[in-house]
Amino acid sequence: MARLSLNQRTCAEWTLREAIDGCLSAGLSSLGVWREPVAHVGLETARRWVEESGLRVSSVCRGGFLTMPEGSLRRASLDSNRAAIEETATLGAPALVLVPGGLPEGERDIDAARRRFLDGVAALVPEAQAAGVVLAIEPMHPIFAADRGVVSTLEQALDMAEQFPASAVGVVVDTFHLWWEPGVEQQIARAGDRIASYQISDWITPLPPDALLSRGMVGDGHIDFEAFTGWVARTGYAGDVEVEIFNADVWATPGAEVVATMSDRYLERVQPWLG
């Protein structure tokens, strides 16, 4: 389980301290952190805890939300992203995950929103390079295109990322978001060293009523993790494999039990194909 990482939102009830201890107890060596629980204890405390734990921080969630037009909201979002870049560097994580953001209130031009997101990424590249942090664009399932993430395919994310150095802008490859994409195998190959994070959760049916909480435990749904993981491995990806599951049933389960189940599933369905 040397490459298995717990994304904090999978055990949403856990504080940062509990998440660190939970990873250590379960024999994991990596943790994907969210900014809010880090802020709750303070960045310096979080940094010290992580260092003392010996865990890697596989990624920081999340920056992005850069689809709005010029104005105070956009300036505030850019400032928040700059702070997030610093936090990512301080915690020693390789990548800051960028959730693109949805359509601004009342706007229906998705291409314009996509262009503004890309402009926002461009504005952050110098800071990311200075800090040694990769901005990881997360293409999101089209179920979220209106209200959360206007970048809808890995192909589109790569069209954006390739406008910048690979040391500054990469992509998140998340099975839940991308499993359906026509030609995704070729896009993963194209991504190569742009893959800044590999995240896994399953697409389950019937889809749970709250679209935001519709991700399933690896192995409970329709995704071919063996094939997907093999495609990622063939790029030479050597990073962590983060389990990120937003699901009310998972959140109602004790964290240690969730981590045990995800570890079993990882060993069955993912690890053997990591090469």
List of residues contacting a copy of itself (CB under 8 A): 103, 108-110, 114, 141-143, 145-147, 152-153, 155-156, 179-182, 203, 205-207, 209-211, 221-224, 227
Nearest residue (CB) to a copy of itself, 48 versus 222: 222
Nearest residue (CB) to a copy of itself, 130 versus 207: 207
Nearest residue (CB) to a copy of itself, 16 versus 270: 270
CA 196 centroid distance within chain: 9
What is the closest distance, in whole angstroms, from the C-beta atom of residue 80 to a copy of itself in the complex? 23
What is the closest distance, in whole angstroms, from the C-beta atom of residue 51 to a copy of itself in the complex? 40
Positive or negative, the CA dihedral 92, 82, 242, 196 is: negative
What is the closest distance, in whole angstroms, from the C-beta atom of residue 108 to a copy of itself in the complex? 4
Q: What letter represents residue 226's amino acid?
A: E
Positive or negative, the CA dihedral 127, 133, 134, 137 is: negative
DSSP 27-65: T--EEEEEHHHHHHH-HHHHHHHHHHHT-EEEEEEEEE-
Nearest residue (CB) to a copy of itself, 249 versus 257: 249
Q: Which of 203, 187, 108, 92 is nearest to 150 (CA)?
A: 108
Nearest residue (CB) to a copy of itself, 79 versus 249: 249
What is the closest distance, in whole angstroms, from the C-beta atom of residue 234 to a copy of itself in the complex? 17
What is the closest distance, in whole angstroms, from the C-beta atom of residue 187 to a copy of itself in the complex? 12
Cβ atoms within 10 Å, residue 191: 25
Nearest residue (CB) to a copy of itself, 90 versus 153: 153
Nearest residue (CB) to a copy of itself, 52 versus 106: 106
What is the closest distance, in whole angstroms, from the C-beta atom of residue 67 to a copy of itself in the complex? 12
What is the closest distance, in whole angstroms, from the C-beta atom of residue 8 to a copy of itself in the complex? 24
The helix or strand, by DSSP H or E, that contains position 137, with its residue range, turns out to be: strand 134-137
Cβ-contact 189, 235 below 8 angstroms:
yes
Positive or negative, the CA dihedral 141, 144, 148, 150 is: positive
Gyration radius of the chain over CA positions: 17
Rounded CA-CA distance 55/35 in Å is 17
- Residue 205, classified by CB atoms within 10 Å of its CB into exposed (0-12), middle (13-18) or buried (19+), is exposed
